[in-house]
Structure 1
Amino acid sequence: MSKTRTFIAIEPSPDVVGHAERALLRLRRLADNVKWVERGNLHWTLHFLGEIDDQELYDVCQAVERGAAEVEPFTLEAAGVGAFPSQSRPRTLWIGAGAGGEAMELLHSKLQEQLEPLGFRGENRRFVPHLTLGRAGRGLRPAETAALAEELEKLVDFPAGNQVVDELTIFASRLRREGAEYTPVAHVPLAG
């Protein structure tokens, strides 16, 4: 039986994508050893499920429908550029969530409640809504780290647009030499 690398996400609006591209322009020139996310791959991850088979995929779709039915559509403000684990040690660069972030946390929680009985455990850390812009490699030079940290400080209040969140997308992910390729498997509406 074949397995599919799968995750659940919210697709960003064109407004948010446009702002993300402006943030990327400011960051991209500062570091060579960062794998930047391509425009078509930008997304707000809710759950990464890993490799699952076809029966599990069916069960996941059913669980996502139940979880999504418990949350009303909401408006999400994309705001601020930051990094994990910190601005001074940027490994994952992202755009954060302002207003509407609590609704995304609720959505994440409702999905987790439905996915746990299927064997999908949540992460041991608190869920932080974010849209990944890039991932820095281990070979990030000190000068690049410093330049990124300085620019992140300037972008802490970066306004990155708004979007209505009224559906989720379950994606299949294929890793290729050129980068990841994401294919929508299902679109699941929120309540209402």
Structure 2
Amino acid sequence: MHRLFVGIDPPEAIKDQLIDLMGGVAGARWQSDEQLHLTLRFIGEVDRHQANDVVAALASLHAPRFELSLAGVGTFDKRGQVNALWAGVTPHMAVHALHKKIDQAMVRVGLEPEHRAYQPHITLARFGRDTAGLDGFVAQHGGLASAPFAVDDFCLYESELTNAGSVYTIVERYRLD
């Protein structure tokens, strides 16, 4: 079985900017350089045959290149408990359009459509219960911004769950038009 997702691999300068922010929040499990990405579509566990269908479906997509910039930070919670800290991106229109095309392609290969509302972001940290310092971090970095960066491709990633955390490997890169 293969645990897959589709995402954008930000340029090193953006990853460096995000890595430089990390720290000062108790209980944060900060993402490594290799883990920083903008998820376009979580696929989940698929067998080898369906993984091959996913690869082919993604290869057939056509979408224009676009630019994004970092834009603020925020949190996700589950039942009132913060479980993730993220950096936002702007503008949303092109990345939403790409997400929609990818979701439609995944439905064509037999996967369920994405049911959650899509919010483009780059996860910075994950949390258990301890989030001491998080409010200060969000206040300090709420105005996070970057120069625009080109999005020339998107990637199919494989995720391996290990005792040390998730390991993400880029399986394939797909060029945008």
- Identify whether the pair has TM-score above 0.5, normalized to the shorter chain: yes
- Decide which of 5, 8, 12 is 1:7's aligned counterpart: 5
Instruction: Tell me which residue corresponds to 1:123.
Output: 114
Are residue 53 (structure 1) and residue 47 (structure 2) matched?
yes
CA contact (8 A) 2:104 2:113 kept: no
Task: Please state whether the residue corresponding to 2:130 is helix, strand or coil.
Answer: coil
Deviation per CA, 1:112-140: give whole Å up to 9, x if none. 11111223223332100000001111x22
Q: Distance in 1 between matches of 2:60 and 2:25?
A: 43
Structure 1: where are the runs of 5+ without partners? none
| Structure 2 counterparts to residues 42-191 of structure 1, below 5 A | 42-67=36-61, 69=62, 71-85=63-77, 90-99=82-91, 101-137=92-128, 139-140=129-130, 144=132, 147-191=133-177
1:82 Cα deviation after fit = 1.1
1:89 Cα deviation after fit = 5.2
Which amino acid in 2 is paired with 1:97?
V
Q: Distance in 1 between matches of 2:149 and 2:115?
A: 29
Deviation per CA, 1:158-188: give whole Å up to 9, x if none. 1144321111111111111122211221111
Identical residues among aligned pairs (%): 28
Q: Distance in 2 between matches of 1:7 and 1:84?
A: 19
1:96 Cα deviation after fit = 0.4
The two structures, once aligned, show a CA RMSD in angstroms of: 1.8
TM-score (norm 1): 0.84
TM-score (norm 2): 0.91
Higher helix share: 1
Instruction: Go from structure 1 to structure 2 and tell me whether the alpha carbon gap of 1:16 and 1:161 turns closer, same or farther (over 3 Å shift).
Output: farther
Number of paired residues? 176
Structure 2: where are the runs of 5+ without partners? none
Q: Distance in 1 between matches of 2:82 and 2:147?
A: 23
Q: Distance in 1 between matches of 2:72 and 2:8?
A: 18
- Decide which of 4, 11, 16 is 2:14's aligned counterpart: 16
